[in-house]
Structure 1
Amino acid sequence: MFKYNGAIVRPDWRISVALFFSLLLGMGAYPSMVRAFDLKSGLSKESGPFDLFKFGFNAQKNGKTEDAVEAYRYAAEKGHTGSRWALANMYADGDGVVKNDYEAFKIYSEIANQGVEPGSEDTVYFVNALTSLANYYHEGIPGSPVAVDLAQARQLYFQAASTFGFAEAQFELAKMLLTGEGGKKNVQQAKKWLNLARKNGHAGAMALFGNVIFEEGQAARGLAFMTAAIDKCPPKDCGWIQDLQERAFSLSDEKERRTAVALVAQVQQQPE
């Protein structure tokens, strides 16, 4: 959670299984499940890892989360990193298993520790694992060995933001730079990362970038970015983005508001 000018910004730092459905990778081992698959599925724990992953994906999509967990576990035993990643997400969400952030943390750590070859299709899992770990270090995990470590969180966000250009990591890094969490405060660097993230389509970064330049005196342009972000925001983020925009709108004069409206279409095109 991040509070900026009265608005609470809540990060969503994991990505859905559907986004990375076709990607593969390979190492790791998890305890086998006793329960067998439905015979009609034509699958068993001896099936290939990608077939198990597909089964798990479809089971999860259809609300059969216990089947999904079982399939992901078997695929993980066969070295399928996408399944390890999906299983970590299920532990983090309490989806089909008892919610266990520390278990999720351990699996994300395994993915991150194995590294990734430059340009590999495995990159998406690796980068998301880095960002997930960064969030855990940012918040800590109560009742586990994982304590708040802001410097480590900032370092991991920086790695995902700079090396891989991951918009969510760029956004999270910028927030830490704005407040001085985990290191020195640096508004100019924060603006740089917010600008990169919003060009990568991150609505939250667009709103926060607009708010920063609004506070610096660019009222019309800043309000335009915040207004444009409302049109692009995912439902989970629309509340805090609208709060920022409404605050800026109330502080603007009529001329600034009209100029902002005229600029919205321009900033939506993500100009340099």
Structure 2
Amino acid sequence: MQAITLGPEGTYSHRAARAVADEVTFTESVTDIVATVASGEVDRGVVPIENSIEGSVTESLDALAEHDVAVVLEIVTPIRHALLAQNEGFERVASHAQALAQCRTYLEANYPDVTQEAVASTARGVQMARDDPTVAGIGHPDNGGDGLQVLAEDIQDRTSNATRFVVVAPADERSDAGGKSSFVVYPSANYPGLLLELLEPFADRDINLSRVESRPSGERLGDYVFHIDVQAGLYEQRTQDALADIEALAEEGWVRRLGSYDTRHVLY
């Protein structure tokens, strides 16, 4: 099976993708990953969806709202950040914006005068550090070697740092089986009590909501798309009944069932 994920080789996304595919190709855009899977060009895409420190990856949420794909698996992996450079004389730290944010306290305490540069992925920053002695990267400590020193390990602000990835597949592979389900809801409306009305069908049926997040729809100011994760499968009657209520509320908009799936914990 082939998967596409954020590259270049050595990203945390690459590590997650190896848990589901023998052949992994790369791009530097989450939107490209989801669009490529939606077109049927590859079997699977692996995208980061949420970090325990910095929260949701908004580009991933927007891509899932824009393209019709299925979520078939959730991968949760701990994140271990290391500072990698050719020597201590670096002037810039380059990494993904989320990685920089996750190591904010360490960088401010130890390198307050060093410039921080957000790049497409942690692996891209590591490659820059390998090519340029004035640049340090942030990435997994296994990326050291070949002239690149691990100057410090476990520099993330919290030891509990973990990232949740979702594995996306073409829409026709959507499943009703699994312990969790995800939906995207666009009610095309805005009035007092709307969000409460969207959540009550789940509460009334004792369905636990594990995440609710709004993103701008792009249609007009103050208009939102809602991303909802629940700890219940689409195969369950209570979930079907709740969604029927949601679809009635969103009759002027739409509801996308991303599917039901299980969680896999991957340790590195």
TM range (shorter): under 0.3
Structure with a larger share of its residues in strand? 2
Higher relative contact order (CA 8 A, sep 6+): 2
Structure number with larger C-alpha Rg: 1
Give the TM-score, by structure 2 length: 0.26
Structure with a larger share of its residues in helix? 1
Give the TM-score, by structure 1 length: 0.26
